[in-house]
Each structure stands twice: as structure tokens, then as C-alpha cells.
A and B are shown apart, each in its own frame.
Chain A
Amino acid sequence: MSVAAPCTATGTTATGKHRSRVRPGHTRREDTVSTDVTTAGPARSTAPAPPVGETRRQRRRHLLARADTKLSPYLYIAPFFVLFAIFGLYPLVYTAWVSLHDWELASDEHPWAGLENYSRLVTDPVFWNALWNTVGIFLLSTVPQLTLALFIASLLNRKLRGRAFFRLSVILPMATSVAAVSIVFSQLFSRDFGMVNWLLGGVGVGPIEWQASKWSSWSAVATMVNWRWTGYNALIYLAAMQAIPRDLYEAAAIDGAGAWKQFTKVTVPLLRPTIVFTVIISTIGGFQLFTEPLLFNSGSSNYQGGSLRQSQTVAMYVWENAFVKFDFGYASAVAWVLFLIILVAAAVNFVAVRRLGGRD
């Protein structure tokens, strides 16, 4: 369905456009044909009507041409929106619907609950704990990640030997599966035989049980996220940096700006739209964090993110309610609130980052 509809739409509008533009002097028959094909229902009913005056036909042709230029772009992008409606909008709306019910997976009846799930959420300490964890891990992962990416990008933007190799290798972590990353890092952060504790032991620290404290579990999870995504962001920054005209740097150099000044006064301000983009993408990803903390807390009831839920994120709490407690109504409410929080966080970040560089 979704494939067939745009195909016909594209074909017909193209024909219509071609005819009306290239051949102004036309036969009546051709006109009827193009009319018939271009527009659906209402046009077809007028098509077999007897020919009226030349002016009326012209006017109709004009209208069609206008409709063509105005409407066909929407038809071209329709496939995405059709797919989005099926796979994006429908689940979203359905989740909202479920969240207003007392929806147990196993039971056949789903009584209406109104906003009960939402009011329960407001007073649920476990939810607030999960939100706090999510924000904490988000800050620990996004801030160092984007800062580091910016510096890596500016290093890669210089004339280096084997530049292509370095540029490629920074995105290598992204190509590894998140499960593999989490398992390797869980071993690095293991209490008894982990490398991190072994290294810390060398300087007389530890051993640390990384899952046990908030700060340690947050740091460990953030490390996984940073390792995986820093290169990706660096590459995006690099692409944007290459669009900055060289002469700006030359002018800055003539004005006596050193490398640091050039970086802060030329590179960063001009990268602001890109930084906004990466911040928003990181916000969305960070607030939905699930796999890394889940695998980091291996073993029974890992969805709780530690003995006292030290690193349980909101996404994990959604999972716990939906697939461990089978309380789909409450899980949907949490999922919807998470969605709204992401929107707000993205908006706040957007404004904050736009103000970051001063004017413009």
C-alpha cells in the first residue's frame, strides 16, 4: 500500500506537469486525459462534461498547474509520513491510550483508569530515582563526550600523516555491537578480576565494586556510552569544520589569534548549528539509555539496575513494569512521560546551546 500509492502519484503528476508546461497549444483530448489522471474524485466527475468556454478550460488548467506545484512535493514526501504514521504515530497514540487504562497483559479486561497511572507516577520514588539516574548518566556521558569529540575533530582537521586512517578509526567503536561493548566493559569493571580495579590497585585504590555505588555505576555506564559515540560525534564535527573557510583562520592569525583563540573564537561559534544537532541527538539517545546499564548489571533482576537501583534508567523502569510486572498501563504512562521529558530536555538544550556562543 504505502509503496504503491506514491508510485502512481509520482507518475501522474509528472505527466501533468510535462504536458501543461511544454505543450501549451494542446488538443482537447489530451487535456481531458491529463485532467483525469492528475486529480482523483472531483476532477473525474467534471471531465466528461461538455466543453465550455476557452477561458474556463484555461482557468482550470491554471488551477491544476498550481495544484501540481503546490501539492506534488507533499506527495513526494508522503511515503515517509505514511510509514511514520504506521510505525511511529500509531504506537505513540496507542501507548497513550493504554496508559489511560488498567492494562494487565494476562487479563482480558482493561478497565478505564483515567489519569490514575500518571498520578501514581508522580508519587513513585522508584520512577524519580530512575529519572535522576538517567539525567546523571546523561550528563556524565554527553558533556565529556561532545567536548572530547570537538577536540578530536580539530586534531583530525589538521594536516596529519595517515589522516584517513585516524579519521576512519574514530568511528570504529560505533561499528561494534552494543552488547559486545557492554560485556567487555562489564569485565573491565569487574570487582575481583577487572582490569580497571587492577590498575587502580596499582596506585593503592580499591577494589571498587562498580555496581554498588551511584557514582561508580554511572561512571562505568557513561564510559561505555562515551567510548562508543565520541568518534561518531567527532566525525560530524570534522565534516562541519571542513566547511569553515580557511581565510577566516588566516584573518584570525593575522589579528594575532593563537590556536586556542582560533578554536574558541572561530571554530566553536561557526560549529554551533552542528553542536546543537549533536546535543539534541545525544539527548534523545541518552534519555533512552537501556542496553548498556542492563548488561552492566548482569545476573538476576538486572532490570533493576543494581541492588538499590543505583543505575536503573527510566527505559529500564518501563521495561520492568511492562515485561516483568506486566503492568502495561503503568509502563505506558512512564514511557509517555519519558517521551515528554525528552522533548523538554531537547528544547532546553537547544536554547542553552544556541545561547552558548553569544550573538547570532
Chain B
Amino acid sequence: MIRAQRRPRSRRTVALGLGLTAVLVAVTGCGDDDDAPAGGGDGGQVTLTVNVFGNFGYEDLYKEFQASHPNVKIVERGTGSDLSNYTPALTRNLAAGSGAGDVVALEEGIMIQFKEQAQNFVDLGEYGGNDDRGNFLPWKFEGGQASDGKKLIGLGTDVGSMGMCYRRDLFQKAGLPVDREAVAALWPDWTAYVNVGNQFKAKNTGAKWFDAASNTYNTILVQTAGKSPGYTYFDRDNNLVVDSNPAIKQAYDQMLSMIGQGLSAGYKSFSDQWNAGFKQGTFATIACPAWMLGYIQGQAGEANKGKWDVTSAPGEGGNWGGSWLAVPRQSKHPKEAAELVRFLTSPKGQIAAFKKVNNLPSSPVALDDPATKAFKNPYFNDAPVGEIFGTGAKELQPVYFGPRNQAVRDAVENTLLAVQQGKLKPEEAWARAVRDAQQAAR
């Protein structure tokens, strides 16, 4: 009797429960759109998602920011990922209107592409970003402005001034000096670098002189193009000038000659084999923008600590890499996100990141800071990296990149790889490079 009475009620309860659940699902489903992307909701709690590639070295800075902003929780995504995967994902997320997070890193080669989509980003000027102008090298600050120059979409993180990393053990084996200053004196320019390379090759250490055509070529290119005309594959009107910019042909020919002399290990950069090469010591030198130090340390590992060293690069100047931080328009917390960007890109934030992963500051204040100047990298045999990379960083002449820079650069560098592989005749390589570049720019 009792049971019979209870049954309908329990059924009703179940029905009610189901109905409520459905309503809850519906409500929370909608609620997600207006609230924080994850874990938001209770009492102004804000979760900021920071999307990066590679390693920005911000862990300690996040902790500091969270300590001064108890309602903010920071989550970093994409740490260690490479640009060729990061950029497409970011572009997709921006176009889709969700998933890009609250703070995104924009690298110099892709910055122009995103500057043309200024509508996707918050104007940091609205959150006091323009007050930070003096914190940055002038070109770095201007680099973060939208194409029309009105909107500020990004604040600079680092610059990629050039150094040259080398293996002490291999230099010793080949009877070359290992001391930093002495090594730098070996190669005032690239011709001297090639000559030393041939000396090294004659000693048959089993290793090649440098890692990959693409890296060394790109270094020579940004150095040459930096002096004149100030751009590489695209001119400032975004016309493809691969076949008319003398800087490109000059760097390309120089590289073909180096390949012809058997100095390159012939790797494809960022491939598994290239990574293994750091550990196995299959090449003696590698062109090193500041951020490369962190990469080498990661790939070569603790076992090779002290074997690598770094000194100044042949030639003058040259900037390769460096990034900006921006806040996508889709962020639910633009105010907090902009505040975080200003904090991370402040001179203090830049110095902390430099000490952590050697990303060279884009702030003259940070570059001049004694903490930066005196900083030595224990992994690279206590090399004074602050001094090596910081010297001349303020005089850096950046080069301009067009919107399809990455695709064109890949196309040209791939032909150099093919020459190394013996699949393309050196005398046919340039024509092919121009053709592929034109195709890639379409």
C-alpha cells in the first residue's frame, strides 16, 4: 500500500529531476558564453588563458601577478609548441570567434598578418598601453600598432639579436681556439666564417661546420636586408620582390657556395633529426638568435651542459624573431588581460623572462639594467649572454615582413634543403626558389 503510494511520487521526482537537469544543462550551456571560459563564476574570479609558442619563461611572473590579483588565475597553453602549428590554430580560433584565449603571443614573421586583422584584437591603448611607449625600442612599439597606426594591438616582448653558438669540444678536437673572444675574432664576417669552416672540415672531426642551410641563410639575409633595403621577400607595399631584392640573391648565393663546400650538416630546421643533432654533436656551430639558447638547452639536455658556448655572430646586426603580446577581441576579460600584458612586457617582466629563457628584452630600460648586462648563462659555460646579445640590440635595424612571409620563406629555404639533399642542382636552385616563392605568395 505504502509502496504503491510512493511509486508515482518517486516517478514524479525522477521526472522533475530530469527536467531540472535539462534546464540546468541549458542554462549553464548558455552561461558559458558570458562567463569566464573555465572555472569562472564565483565572486569575480577570473581565469586568463595565455596562448604561447616556444618558451616565454613567464611562470614566476604569473605567480607574482596572481599574488597581487587574488581574483585572477592564469593558465598558459601551447608551451613548447612550434610556430608552424601555433599560427594556423590561432588564425582559426580568431576567425571562429572563440578558443584564442585572453592573451596571445604574436611572432614578428606573422605579426603583419595579424595586424591586418586589427578588428580581432583589443586596442591596448584603451587600457593605458600607449603610456608604455617609452618602455620599448621605438620600432618595437610601432611594430605593435595596427596598419593604420591608430590602434595598439600588441606590446613587445623580446627581440632576436644574433649570436653564434658553438661546440667547445668539437672546436678543441679541430685545434681551433675555444675561448669566446678568440672565437669571435675568427669570424669578423661570413667570408672568414667559411674559411674557418674549411679549416674545421679538414680536421675530420666527424661533425659538420653548421647545422642547416636554412638557419644560416636566414641570418645572413636579415643582416644584409637590415642594412638595405630594410625588407626581405615583400616590400613595404607587400609586393613580392624575391627576384628583385639584391639582399636575397646575395644571401642565397652565399649559402649555395657554403653547401658546395660541404660545410652544412644538411638538416631541416626543427625536425627530429635536427633536434637529435644538438645532442649528438653532429655540427659545430649554429646561428643563434637570443631565443635559440633556450631551444638548444632543451634539445641538447643536461648531459651536454658546458659543451655549448656562445659568442658574437659574423657580420653585423640582424634581428631574427621576437614577439608581441596581444589581447583577442573575443576575450571575456579584456581589462585584466590588458593589465597582464602590460605587466609581462614591462621592463621588469622582460628582465625576468630574459633570466629565465634568454629572450632578449625589447625595452631599452631592461637592456640597460645591470641585472641584464651582468647575466651569465650557466648552461653555456657561463657566457655573458646579456652582454653578447644586448650590445648593439638598441641599434638593431629590423626588417619588414609581408603577410605571406612564412610561406614564401619556407618555399625558398626548402630549395636550399633540396640542394643539400642532392635533389636539386645548385645552378637550377635559384630559378626554382623564385618560382616556388611566387606560388607560395599567391
A residues lining the B interface (CB < 8 Å): 105-106, 126, 183, 186-187, 190-193, 209, 211-213, 297-304, 307-308, 310, 323-326
Give 10 closest A-B pairs by Cβ, nearest first. A299-B271, A212-B421, A307-B418, A301-B410, A307-B417, A323-B88, A299-B268, A299-B270, A298-B271, A298-B272
* Complex interface: chain B residues within 8 A of A106 (CB): 91, 94-95, 113, 116-117
**Could you list 6 A-B pairs, sorted by A, with CB under 8 Å?**
A106-B94, A106-B117, A126-B439, A187-B272, A211-B421, A324-B407
Is B136 located at the chain interface by the 8 A CB criterion?
no
B99 an interface residue at 8 Å Cβ cutoff? no
Q: Which of A193, A300, A324 contacts B88 (CB 8 A)?
A: A324
Query: Given the known A-B contacts A105-B92, A308-B418, are A325 and B407 also in contact in the complex, defined by CB atoms under 8 Å?
Result: yes
CB distance from B116 to the nearest CB of A (A): 7
Whether B82 contacts A191 by the Cβ 8 Å rule is no
The answer to whether A301 and B84 have CB atoms under 8 Å apart is yes
CA distance A106 to B422 in the complex (A): 39
A308 touches B424 (CB 8 A): yes
Chain B residues with CB under 8 Å of A190's CB are 272-273, 276
What is the predominant secondary structure among interface residues of chain A facing chain B?
A: loop
Q: In the complex the two chains form, what is the Cα distance from A324 to B415 in whole Å?
A: 19
A325 to B411, CA, bound (A): 13
Chain B 412-425: CB-based contact to A (< 8 A → 1; otherwise 0): 01110110011110
Chain A neighbourhood of B415, CB < 8 A: 307-308
Bound complex: CA A306 to CA B344 (Å): 38
User: Which of B84, B91, B273, B417 sits near A191, CB closer than 8 Å?
Assistant: B273
How many residues of chain B are within 8 Å of chain A by beta carbon?
39
> Which of B214, B422, B440 gathers most chain A CB within 10 Å?
B440
Docked CA distance A192–B410 (Å): 23
Measured CB to CB, the nearest residue on chain B to A300 is B270
Chain B facing A: main interface SS: helix
Residues of A within 8 A of B92 (CB): 105, 323
- Could you tell me if A300 and B410 are in contact, using CB atoms closer than 8 angstroms? yes
Q: Name the B residues within 8 Å of A297 (CB-CB).
A: 271
Q: Which residues of B lie under 8 Å from residue A324 when comparing CB positions?
A: 84, 88, 406-407
Cα A129 to Cα B292 with chains together (Å): 35
Q: Quick one: which of A299, A308, A325 contacts B269, CB cutoff 8 A?
A: A299
Q: How far is the CA of A149 from the CA of B156 in the complex (A)?
A: 58
Within 8 A of A (CB), among B265-281: 266, 268-274, 276-277, 280
Which residues of A sit under 8 angstroms from B417, Cβ to Cβ?
A: 307
Residues of B within 8 A of A209 (CB): 266, 421
Asked whether B282 is an interface residue with its Cβ less than 8 Å from the other chain, the reply is: yes
Using A105-B91, A300-B410, A324-B88 as known contacts, say yes or no to A212 and B272 having CB atoms under 8 A apart: no
A-B contact sample (16 more), CB < 8 A, given A190-B273, A209-B266, A300-B268? A105-B91, A106-B113, A126-B439, A183-B272, A190-B272, A212-B418, A212-B421, A298-B272, A299-B272, A300-B82, A300-B84, A300-B214, A300-B269, A307-B415, A308-B423, A323-B88
The A-contacting residues of B in range 100-125, CB under 8 angstroms, are 113, 116-117
Select B282's contact among A192, A211, A213, beta carbons within 8 Å.
Answer: A192
Tell me, in angstroms, the Cα distance from A298 to B267 when the chains sit together. Answer: 11
Q: How long is the Cα–Cα vector from A186 to B272 in the complex, in angstroms?
A: 8
Measured between beta carbons, the chain A residues less than 8 angstroms from B404 are: 325
Q: Which residues of A contact B280 (CB under 8 A)?
A: 192-193
With A and B bound together, what is the CA distance between A302 and B424 in angstroms?
19
Contacting residues, chain A, for B270 (C-beta < 8 A)? 298-300
Report the bound CA distance from A325 to B413 in whole Å: 17
Q: Tell me the smallest distance from the CB of A125 to a CB of chain B, in Å.
A: 9
Complex Cα spacing A304 to B415, Å: 12
When C-beta atoms are compared, the residue in chain B nearest to A193 turns out to be: B276
Question: What are the interface flags for B246-274 relative to A under an 8 Å C-beta threshold, 1 for contact and 0 otherwise?
Answer: 00000000000000000000101111111
A300 to B274, alpha carbons, bound, how many Å? Answer: 11
Whether A212 contacts B407 in the complex (CB less than 8 A), given A191-B273, A300-B82, comes out as: no
The answer on a CB contact under 8 Å between B268 and A307 is: yes
Shortest Cβ gap from B102 to chain A (Å):
21
CA distance A326 to B422 in the complex (A): 32
Residue of B nearest to A108 (CB): B119
